[in-house]
Structures are given as C-alpha cells and as structure tokens.
C-alpha cells in the first residue's frame, strides 16, 4: 500500500501571524501589510488561527504575562510545536520566550517556549518610558546601522550552540551594558531581537524576517519532496 501525500507548492507568498495575547502586536501587523510577499497578516489568539499561518511573530510585552495567558488559553503546547519547525521571530519579550534559558526571571521561574540555544537576562536595560534609542550594528554584509528602541530589554548573555548566528550588536554602552552586547541572533528558522523594530519607521528588519521565512519554508518543501 503506497501512501500518497499531496506535495505543497513551494510558497511565493506568506501568511504571517502575530501572537496577540498581550503587548505590541498591532504595530507588527501594520508593517507586514506593506510587503507584497505577505498575503495575510493576522493576530493569533487560538490554536486554529496558529495552524493557519506559515510564520509567526511573538511581540514585545511582558513575557511572564504572555506565557501565563498562553497557558490558560491552551496555546502553550501548540506554540511549542509551531516554533520547532516554522519560521518565528521573537521581539524583546518574544525573544525571552524563544530562549532555552532565562535568568532574572520572576520568583518561581517562568514558562518558556524554547528553541534558541541562548541564555537571556531579563530587564537588562532601557526604561519602561521614555524609549531608549541606541544604534545597533547589523551583520548584513556592509555593517548597516539600525536605529533600535529598547524597553526594559533582555540581553543575550550566553550563546550555547555554534548554530546560533550573531546578527546585531549594540553600538554604544547603555548603563552597565557594554557596546557590542549581542542584541539579535538567528538559529535556522528562529530569529530574535532584543529591540523593537516595529516602533521605528525603518522596515529593514521586517524585510529580513519575511525573506528568512520564505527561504526556510522553501527549504522545508524541498526536504518533504525528497522524502516522498
């Protein structure tokens, strides 16, 4: 008996979800709507909505609250499954949730989704308000500089795997956090930034994620086709 599996066409367009349990999600949706490669950008509050998208953004906010609401609404496990194989970008609180380990967590610890082999330290720099603007140097061939907004931001305090690629570092010292501290990383289909690109007028980081997501979906399609 041969099982026939329908081969999904390699995607040209993306359906992107933005986790909308708490935090700065609407700003991401507005930026995504500008990209011709994004056919749909929707808020995600249920497992059904999550299963309808190709890629996900976990926004900034409060990582403990996001995890708590996700757990109460039965989304924690579906989210863990999603991030195992589908392109996901975590900004700030989202980066904490994607980390395999976090320090300076609330007493009793906090739930993480995991996936990124990094250790993050919560609430390292940037006040709640006003926003702290610092430039970060991004690794895009010509060492571009990006205006970054930090709000009680986590820092990547340790990288625990050679598979993690450093994509951006702080340009200037903030408080006791040295210039060159790591503020953006990628590991395969997972991407994380300690800052909030959705709060600036510069959409290069969103463009980067859209390209990353399309590239990793195409790669996944090729692997599935080879297995059949």
Q: Are 14 and 213 within 8 A, CB to CB?
A: yes
Between 37 and 123, CB nearer to ligand GLN: 123
CB of 221 to ligand GLN, least distance (A): 33
SS3 content of the chain, % helix, strand, coil (to 5): 30, 30, 40
User: Does 71 count as an annotated binding residue?
Assistant: no
CB of 1 to ligand GLN, least distance (A): 50
User: Does 77 count as an annotated binding residue?
Assistant: no
Between 184 and 214, CB nearer to ligand GLN: 184
State yes or no: residue 134 binds ligand GLN (CB under 6 A): no
Q: Catalytic residue among 28, 189, 196, 206, which?
A: 196
Over the window 56 to 95, marking each residue x when it contacts ligand GLN by CB under 6 A and - when it does not, the resulting string is: ----xxxx----------------------------xx--
* Alpha-carbon distances, residue 45 vs 38, 48, 189, 199 (angstroms): 20, 9, 22, 22
Between 14 and 95, CB nearer to ligand GLN: 95
CB of 151 to ligand GLN, least distance (A): 4
User: Does 216 count as an annotated binding residue?
Assistant: no
Pairwise CA distance, residues 80 & 77, whole Å = 5
Grouping H, G, I as helix, E, B as strand and the rest as coil, residue 73 is: coil
State yes or no: residue 122 binds ligand GLN (CB under 6 A): yes
Token pair 């996936």: residue: 115
10 Å Cβ neighbour count for 188? 15
**Of residues 180, 170, 163, the one with CA closest to residue 149:** 170
DSSP-assigned beta bridge partners for residue 64: none
Q: Catalytic residue among 27, 92, 189, 206, which?
A: 92
Pairwise CA distance, residues 194 & 52, whole Å = 27
**Of residues 196, 210, 187, 222, the one with CA closest to residue 59:** 196
198 is annotated as an active-site residue = yes
Between 24 and 217, CB nearer to ligand GLN: 24
User: Does 204 count as an annotated binding residue?
Assistant: no
CB of 213 to ligand GLN, least distance (A): 21
User: Does 61 count as an annotated binding residue?
Assistant: yes
CB of 32 to ligand GLN, least distance (A): 18
**Of residues 135, 97, 100, the one with CA closest to residue 118:** 100
User: Does 152 count as an annotated binding residue?
Assistant: yes
Pairwise CA distance, residues 221 & 227, whole Å = 10
Kindly list the residues in this chain that would bind ligand GLN in the complex (CB under 6 A).
60-63, 92-93, 96, 122-123, 151-152
Active site residues: 92, 196, 198
Known binding-site residue numbers for L-glutamine: 61-63, 122, 151-152
């Amino acid at each position: 008996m041969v099982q026939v599996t329908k081969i999904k066409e390699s995607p040209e367009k993306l359906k992107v979800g933005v986790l909308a349990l708490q935090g700065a999600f609407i700003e991401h949706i507005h930026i995504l709507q500008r990209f011709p490669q994004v056919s749909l950008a929707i808020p995600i509050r249920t497992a059904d909505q999550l299963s309808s998208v190709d890629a996900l953004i976990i926004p900034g906010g409060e990582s403990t609250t996001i995890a708590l609401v996700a757990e109460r609404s039965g989304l924690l496990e579906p989210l863990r499954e999603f991030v195992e194989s589908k392109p996901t970008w975590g900004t700030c609180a989202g980066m904490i949730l994607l980390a395999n380990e976090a320090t300076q967590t609330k007493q009793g610890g906090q739930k993480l989704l995991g996936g990124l082999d990094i250790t993050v330290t919560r609430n390292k720099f940037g006040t709640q308000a006003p926003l702290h603007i610092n430039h970060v140097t991004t690794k895009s061939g010509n060492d571009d500089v990006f205006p970054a907004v930090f709000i009680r931001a986590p820092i990547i305090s340790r990288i625990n795997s050679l598979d993690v690629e450093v994509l951006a570092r702080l340009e200037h010292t903030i408080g006791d956090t040295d210039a060159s501290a790591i503020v953006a990383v990628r590991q395969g289909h997972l991407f994380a930034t300690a800052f909030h690109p959705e709060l600036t007028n510069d959409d290069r980081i969103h463009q980067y994620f859209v390209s990353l997501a399309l590239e990793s979906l195409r790669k996944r399609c090729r692997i599935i086709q080879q297995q059949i």
